[in-house]
Amino acid sequence: MSSSPAGAVVPVTEDAAREAEEHKQRANQYIKEKKFALAVENYDLAIGVNPNNHVYYGNRALAHIRLENYGSAIVDADKCIELNPGYVKAYYRRADANLALNKIKLALLDFRRASKYAPKDPDLRRKLQQCEKAVKVMQFEKALATPQEEVVPAYSKVVLEDMVVEEGFTGSRMAKDAEGKDVVTLDFVLSMIEDFKAGRKLHRRYAYSIILGALEIFKELPNVVRVDVPKGSKFTVCGDVHGQFFDLLNIFELNGMVSEENPYLFNGDFVDRGSWSAEVIFTLFALKCLYPRSLHLARGNHESKNMNKIYGFEGEIQAKYTQQMADVFREVFCWLPLGHIINEKAFVVHGGLFASDDVTIPDLQSFDRNREPPDEGYMCEMLWSDPQEPLGRAPSKRGVAIQFGPDVTKAFLERNNLDLVIRSHEVKDEGYTVEHDGFLVTVFSAPNYCDHMGNKGAFITFSGEDFKMNFTKFSAVEHPDIKPMAYANNYLFGG
């Protein structure tokens, strides 16, 4: 007999073993159908009946990876290896989970361990080589790193005057003000969108004008921005869009374009995974320049250097524009606000709530957000935390920040005289969920996420009159045949 997860020997009858195999077969079928949450549920049942089978943990780790529950995947891989140290897939999956968390050195150790058991596996050898290369690059960059106090921002090196728009340029052109400065107009935005739909790029001068214009606005904002929705007006909150440009346009088709009369808040994770992240971010930044008080943008966990390196945004900007522009975007993302409060009622944040009970809005306004997200603390939790059904708090299934229960949500709202938490950060089958006795809403606006999850997207509209929520669900629309992750780091997503 093998040991149970608690370390004790668990006798398993033949009937129980057969029942566990039936649960596993159903779970495996759900994996094939890309219904990963249902797969996890059935692996849970299999493990509940027979906790001694290492394969169940290894398979559940794969399902957790597909759900981006990297912390849970690592726990399952650990258990699988405890039960069977020679099971190659467990090392492989733990490495993939650590790669997703940008823990490249830990991933490299597991790829090396796996290669001892399967030295001829071509995919494993490729990932091992690419991971070794990535570690060498990290070490080289660390050796060359400039002390923080001497760093010159990349955006300060951009000289628009040196970027001449050629007479023969046929793409969208910005208007100019009386001083000759580029100006974003609605006509330009609409023309730019048509160019993007046709696969055309911005001129780099206009691209930088948009980025730097948005940066000026973000720098003037606090960590948590207060938004007032007047009576008789509506306000729309959208969740993750993740580079799904054509689904973003569908939101505007369904709900109207951003305007002074039709304000929006996009609650983080504009980029990565989808292969039109450049088009999404230029559209949102241009609209921010055009309507600075009517379009609100919050930082998500994917507006960060580590995520952009792994999940495609950096590679996409390098491919479509330049590395310098990718560096500028990285700096601008550090200035994005971290949260919003709507009508002194709703706290809107990408991830969720906190590891301590005494957090107030003034606390969240008090730190410097102009940095890459830390591994712990308020900023990390705002970007990464998730809700859970049980009371209290628990380690995150993602491996970053925490999970928080309904009692934590209610206590935070009472402490800060608020009524509701709205967050994003998680795929939902219907595009949204209402949890924690109605005090917490999750909204996710990327339908058929990564072209395979089959979920709806959703957005929320509020009335300034009574602040009543209305949910609109929508399906994915057709897009050109470019796969998700087309620009992602291929040591994680290349096979």
Residues tagged active-site: 302
The Cα–Cα gap between 77 and 73 comes to 6
CA max distance for the chain: 84
Is the Cα dihedral 322, 325, 327, 330 positive or negative?
negative
With beta carbons less than 8 A apart as the criterion, state whether 60 and 47 touch.
Answer: yes
Residues 6+ away with beta carbon under 8 Å from 66: 31, 34, 36
Choose among 162, 173, 298: nearest CA to 240: 298
Amino acid 41 reads: E
With beta carbons less than 8 A apart as the criterion, state whether 320 and 313 touch.
Answer: no
The dihedrals phi and psi of 442, each to the nearest 5 degrees, come to -110, 130
